[in-house]
Amino acid sequence: MEWRRRHVLGLYDFRPEEIEFVVDTARSMEEVLTRDIKKVPALRGKTVVNLFFEASTRTRTSFEMAGKRLSADVVNFSSSTSSITKGETLLDTARNIEAMKPSVIVIRHAASGAPHFLSRHVSCSIVNAGDGANEHPTQGLLDLYTILKAKGSVAGRKIAIVGDILHSRVVRSDLHSLGKMGAKLWLCGPATLLPREMGRTGATLTCDIREAVKDADVVIMLRIQLERQKTAYFPSLREYSRMYGLNRSVFSLAKEDAVIMHPGPINRGIELSDDLADCGNSLVLRQVESGVAVRMAILYLLAGGSHAAH
């Protein structure tokens, strides 16, 4: 397959073969990460700018690490220390950054559609690192990659995603990455956080965590996105945790070799009990590991590579 995309704005329009192509490229990138010297010259002379208008730990450092492993120059920009605080618009900020000739701008923004807007106004590649409650495509790809590594396949597997479905950009990307690969997806949360129209994606909706987790191969827990909630969606965090938190008793309903995932940051004791977060079935840190390989693949494909780097 030949890679033709200039931007990665979301997985909504990715064809299954494109998703497979990214996964294959990520596999070669992961091989680089097992070497003593974890660096290849693939993007030497190219610049990647991380433009983050919302907090991030994993995604920003992962993109930075990915760029550096490929020998790109990586520049990090965070809104709290920038001229945004002096009133500069997103477009002005981006145009000024573009004048410094980056190959790729990786953007995270609280507004859904901000990366799409930028892609129409700048000539470099844009990667969406999370836009509001819309999409988080590299998270969708790394979740798929992590499951493929752990289970060998996703087609036909029951994958339950539990939590704040309404505000989660992770779920919107997972629906594409895992759904297009043939997973049987179940979405679960309180009725107020489980939009009915999500049923149109082919996923099964339920407000009962036991039904969602029963016989599941994978359980993905989501954080309550308090920063995006404008009103009260449930009586208290304590009650939410009692009804929708994953603990040993609920997890025992899943398949014996089921795995637990979470995009992070985890609110321990709310959506996931402490012991489960760190247990042998938890893939949380493997997701972080996969993140670097997947982001290397995306940067490599966008910044000029057409086949695996050596």
In sequence order, the 6+-apart residues with CB closer than 8 A to the CB of 197 are none
- Select from 46, 60, 223, 295 the one that contacts ligand ASP (CB under 6 A): 223
Applying CB under 6 A, does 109 fall inside the site for ligand ASP? no
Binding mask 227-266 for ligand ASP (x = CB under 6 A): ------------------------------------xx--
- State in angstroms the smallest separation of the CB of 110 from ligand ASP: 11
Sheet with 73-78: strands ordered across: 73-78, 47-52, 104-109, 125-131
**Min. distance of Cβ 136 from ligand ASP in angstroms?**
5
Residue number with CB closer to ligand ASP (226 or 279): 226
Nearer to ligand ASP, 109 or 169 (CB): 169
Task: Assess whether the previous peptide bond of 137 is cis (omega < 30° from 0).
Answer: no
Closest separation in Å from C-beta 118 to ligand ASP:
18
C-alpha dihedral (288, 156, 191, 248), degrees to nearest 10: -60
- Which pair of tokens denotes residue 308? 């695996």
Please identify, using beta-carbon distances, which residue of 47 and 50 lies nearer to ligand ASP. 50
- Our finding on whether 60 is near ligand ASP (CB under 6 A) is no
Nearer to ligand ASP, 61 or 71 (CB): 61
Q: Interface residues for ligand ASP in 129-158 (CB under 6 A)?
A: 130, 136
- Using alpha carbons, select from 4, 14, 247 the residue that is nearest to residue 144: 14
Compute how many other C-beta atoms are within 10 angstroms of the C-beta atom of residue 105: 25
3 state SS for 168-227: CHHHHHHHHHHHCCCCEEEEECCHHHCCHHHHHHCCEEECCHHHHHCCCCEEEECCCCHH
- In terms of CB distance, is 130 or 189 closer to ligand ASP? 130
- Which helix H or strand E contains 106, and what residues bound it? strand 104-109
Strand order through the sheet with 204-206: 204-206, 184-188, 158-162, 218-221, 259-261
Residue nearest ligand ASP, Cβ-based: 223
Distance between CA 281 and CA 250 in Å, rounded? 14
Selected binder of ligand ASP within 46, 169, 172, 184 (CB under 6 A): 169
Question: Which of 66, 170, 261, 296: binder of ligand ASP (CB under 6 A)?
Answer: 170
Which of 7, 167 has the CB closer to ligand ASP?
167
90 binds ligand ASP (CB under 6 A): no
The counts of H helices and E strands in the chain are 11, 9
Closest CB to ligand ASP among 115 and 130?
130
Question: Which residues here bind ligand ASP, judged by CB under 6 A?
Answer: 130, 136, 169-170, 223, 263-264
